[in-house]
Structure 1
Amino acid sequence: MTGEAVSPAAEAAGVVDAVLADLPRHRGVVVDSPPGAGKSTLVVRAAGHLAATGEPLMIIAQTNEQVDDLIVRLAAEHPDLPIGRLSAADYTVPHRIAGKAAIGTKLPDLGDPAVVVATADKWAWVGDRKWPWAIVDEAYQMRSDKLLRIAGLFERALFVGDPGQLDPFSIVDGDRWAGLSWDPLQSAVAVLLRHNPDLPVHRLPVSWRLPASAAPVVSEAFYPFTGFKSGTGPGERRLEFSAGGMRTAYDRALEEAAESGWALYELPSRHTVRTDAEAVQAVAVLAARLLQRAPVALSERGEQPVSPDRIAIGAAHRDQVAAIQAAGLPEGVTVDTANRLQGREYDVTIILHPLSGRRDATAFHLESGRLCVLTSRHRHACVVVARAGIPELLDAHPSADTVQLNVPVKFPDGWEANQAVLAHLAKHSVQAAPLR
């Protein structure tokens, strides 16, 4: 369309059409997706497209929650599509998928569904059946050794995932395999593309989750070479309070977040234990105060009150999550680690910065994917709680990872991503009230 701007919806639809057109032409197709770009929507549409050919399809997810989410979406979008769900013997069927899929521990238990969904771990025990098609959801969370165990089950595959979020989890030290093209601790997509560089890679260009205030920040910090835009424009989403504030630092932080989409509630600089009591209290009070002010989210979905289940609190460690949960939170507010918040969406998020109060900046706390997950779950606003001094901490601990031969350099690294996010948050900083 020469001389005319292409809408975000049309641009995204063009990429999806190109993905579907490439499926029969290649043994594998990779789709990179920024946060909230519609990975699940693409998986569901591709599943319906492939099932319409009359050939059976296997779908591989990484967790049981992801499997159940996909079944709910598939059943809603394709109510006439027979779906099977492979599970462990001790699996408890959640209410949301009851009656939506045949459930069993072995393929014969399912009958003959058009689509079978299971985790990668469960697929590894299926046997020697060959499937013409597979879809791998959250493929960047999948370790390459898990892909190797099931690669013989399918002939062609669609790999969908977010390259900017957390790398696959492992408790094993992987230095012994570093540099090898089949390094089992790399993501499945990384190893796949190193061995098959000719496979097409598509990129979804629009985030439907992140508002116009957040997409440029997250894109610049975590996706500097691919980038993406928000599906909504400035002012199309608003967060308003039905109840007035009391001019406290907590209220000012929430008002700043409602106005700009971001706020940094900054505590005094201090080295603390990981479960910093003052930071934990700040997080809990912000969540409680947010609900006391009866927030209302206005967006393309209409006008809706922000209920507790639309608010999330994120932290880096499980002991921090436990401390926040014990701090007297309003019932219904989600509290979890970055690893477990991946793939979820909320109206407002409150996060405890991974580097807050630390004396050092370890590889774990500098992991760019961790901060990416924490800062990209919201549709309206994100409040970051942190102690002052993080920029100085980063300057004192420059990125100095060991350089290993034949290991692709990851961009952006955590040091650079943290600096970019903090530079933006500095414009929206609210100083915490001094302790009395």
Structure 2
Amino acid sequence: MTTNDHTGFDPAAAADVATTAILADLADAANRAVVVDSPPGAGKSTLVVRAAGDLVEGDERPIIVAQTNNQVDDLVVRLAEAHPDITIGRLSASSYTTPPTVDALANTIVATRVADLAGCRIVVGTSAKWATVRDETFGWAILDESYQMRSDMLLQIVERFDRGLFVGDPGQLDPFTVVGTERWIGLPHDPTQNGVTVMLEHNPGTPVHRLPVSWRLPTTAAPTVARAFYPFAGFNAGIGEGVRALEFRSAGFGSSVLDETLAMAFATGWALHELPRRHVPRTDSETIQATADLAVRLLDRGAIATCERHRDGRVLDAGDIAIGVAHRDQADLVRAALARTGRPYAGQVAVDTANRLQGREFEVVIVVHPLSGRRDATAFHLEAGRLCVLTSRHRQACIVVAREGITDLLDSHPSTDAVHLSVPAKFPDGWEANQVVLAKLARHRVAA
């Protein structure tokens, strides 16, 4: 049950109970695998770091498998800081350039071969890099963001370890591939399914745990995100009402619609900046410009965020803001629009697609709705995981920029996806998830 009312609910205690149960199953030799499902911002990385430390204390030498170099680097930094007495190995490709954050760590070794990391108690690398390792095995592997790992990739690395801890978010984007997948749909060896689903199909007795708290999402967002994308495994916001707040250091001028949208977002945690109804290409200049203008206006007015980390408040900078889109060409155009403003911070605002923003966290996120201005609702733009990522990156507020008419588009374009034998229906589907989010945004609408 997800609720804004924290009466009688202790999020720290609930998270601790879940973590204790996970670590107990991890220590049980009867379990070949353990699965941990996590909502956005529930502390997956914290769990991975703690579990790795516990395994080392149990005289194991675990490996950690992540999906991108950025994820690996973040984990290496967190592991090195949490376990200063343990030597951490960073397994990399020959083309990898060590970032300053990793290079500055005293207890970390970077190498391209596992043999060169023989003295490391924990070795971290991407799944693609681990797939090239053929001559060494380990007792335990921790697979981070495992719902974003294709099963064919899991098959390539599964011989490297005896037991696995699978940690991931089942509500976000499915594994991505540029190859047509129709020929494998419904087959037991479909290589495009995520690694967790395939592993559970072949190991039905595997214990599955769920982290019950999101420490990222505020109380204004957790109920909507849970209902839209996690209807069977609700979660609570870890931080209660009144702890987080946004305000401006300087007053607005006149009745600017930008200021109205920002005021709505600051007061309620949500805002729908709704442009006039019109069928437009995804590179619609008006939508792109509105998105960039909102970010610039927020920073120019000196937004101040108060939260559990900064009780006295702090002024947000460009690195606290993200702009999320569905396509790379949209991201390029938003960056260009920001650059045209001439603001020195323009290049510091994170602008990217949902795929690349996945796993990241910001104070305020501005989203170009994937269905804005479209004539049709394709499977790509209806993907529930895409909207989930875009609307769950924020700690304070989420602003959605869209043209009027998305609800009508959904009503006139029901799902036309083919039904395949032996393929469970995905629920919630993108149509229903979009309806839930739009119903919420309708109460926070500002007409542009």
Q: Which TM-score tier does this pair reach, normalised by the shorter chain?
A: over 0.9
Moved more, 170-179 or 410-419: 170-179
Structure 1 letter corresponding to 2:191 = P
1:348 aligns with 2:364: yes
1:181 deviates by 2.2
| Structure 2 match to 1:394 | 410
1:6 CA drift (Å): 4.1
Q: Name stretches of at least 5 consecutive residues in structure 2 with no aligned partner.
A: 1-6, 340-345
Question: Per-residue CA shift, 1:145-204, capped at 9, x if unaligned?
Answer: 000011111111100000000000001111111112221100000101111111000000
Alignment correspondent of 2:433: 417
Equivalent in 309, 316, 319 of residue 326 of structure 2: 316
Cα distance in 2 for partners of 1:353, 1:259 equals 21
- The answer on whether the counterparts of 1:181 and 1:195 sit within 8 Å (CA) in structure 2 is no
| 2:54 maps to 1:49 | yes
**Which one of 260, 272, 285 corresponds to residue 268 of structure 2?**
260
- Aligned AA (1:368): A
Which residue is 1:190 aligned to? 197
Which of 84, 106, 121 is the matching residue for 1:114? 121
- Aligned counterpart for 1:89 among listed residues 81, 94, 98: 94
Partner of 2:215: 208
Counterparts of 1:234 and 1:86, CA distance in 2: 42
Matched residue, 1:291: 299
Q: TM-score, normalised by structure 1?
A: 0.97
Aligned residue type for 1:300: E
Structure 1 residue 431: deviation in Å?
Answer: 0.4
Which residue is 1:16 aligned to? 19
Provide the rounded CA distance (Å) in 1 between the counterparts of 2:118 and 2:22.
30
Give the TM-score of the pair, scaled to structure 2.
0.94
**Mapped pair 1:236 → 2:243:** yes
2:231 is matched with: 224
Matching residue within 66, 71, 74 for 2:76: 71
Distance 1:415 1:158 in 2: 32
Distance in 1 between residues matched to 2:189 and 2:143, nearest whole Å: 18
- Runs of 4+ residues over 3 Å off in structure 1: none
Identity of aligned residues (%): 60
CA displacement, residues 79-111 of structure 1 (integer Å, 9 cap, x when unaligned): 111111111111101000014321111112223
Aligned-partner residue type, residue 252 of structure 1:
E
Distance in 2, Cα, partners of 1:182 & 1:31: 23
* Conservation of the 8 A alpha-carbon contact between 1:132 and 1:155: yes
- Number of the residue aligned with 2:342: none
* Pair 1:62-2:67 in alignment: yes
- Letter paired with 1:164: G
Preserved CA contact (<8 Å) 1:62 1:138: yes
Tell me how far apart the structure 1 counterparts of residues 84 and 187 of structure 2 sit (CA, whole Å). Answer: 45
Give the corresponding residue for 1:141: 148
| Count of aligned residue pairs for this structure pair | 429
Unaligned runs of at least 5 residues, structure 1: none
Residues 322 and 366 in structure 2, CA contact (< 8 A), matched pair in contact too: yes
Task: Indicate which of 180, 184, 189 corresponds to 1:177.
Answer: 184
Q: For residues 118 and 54 of structure 2, what CA distance do their matches in structure 1 show?
A: 21
For residues 162 and 12 of structure 1, what CA distance do their matches in structure 2 show? 16
| In structure 1, C-alpha distance between the alignment counterparts of 2:210 and 2:103, rounded to whole Å | 34
Letter of the 1:328 partner, please give it.
L
Q: Secondary structure at the match of 1:250?
A: helix
Q: 1:426 and 2:436 equivalent?
A: no
How far residue 233 of structure 1 moved from its aligned partner, in angstroms, is 1.5
Instruction: Specify the code of the residue in structure 2 equivalent to 1:97.
Output: V
Deviations 1:220-250 (A, max 9, x none): 0000111111001222210111111122110
Deviations 1:13-65 (A, max 9, x none): 11001000001320000000000000000000001110111221110000111
Q: Deviations over 1:341-394 (max 9, x none)?
A: 001000001010000011110000000000000000000001000000000001
Distance, in Å, in 2 between the alignment partners of 1:268 and 1:280 is 14
Separation in structure 2 between the aligned mates of residue 232 and residue 105 of structure 1, nearest angstrom: 41
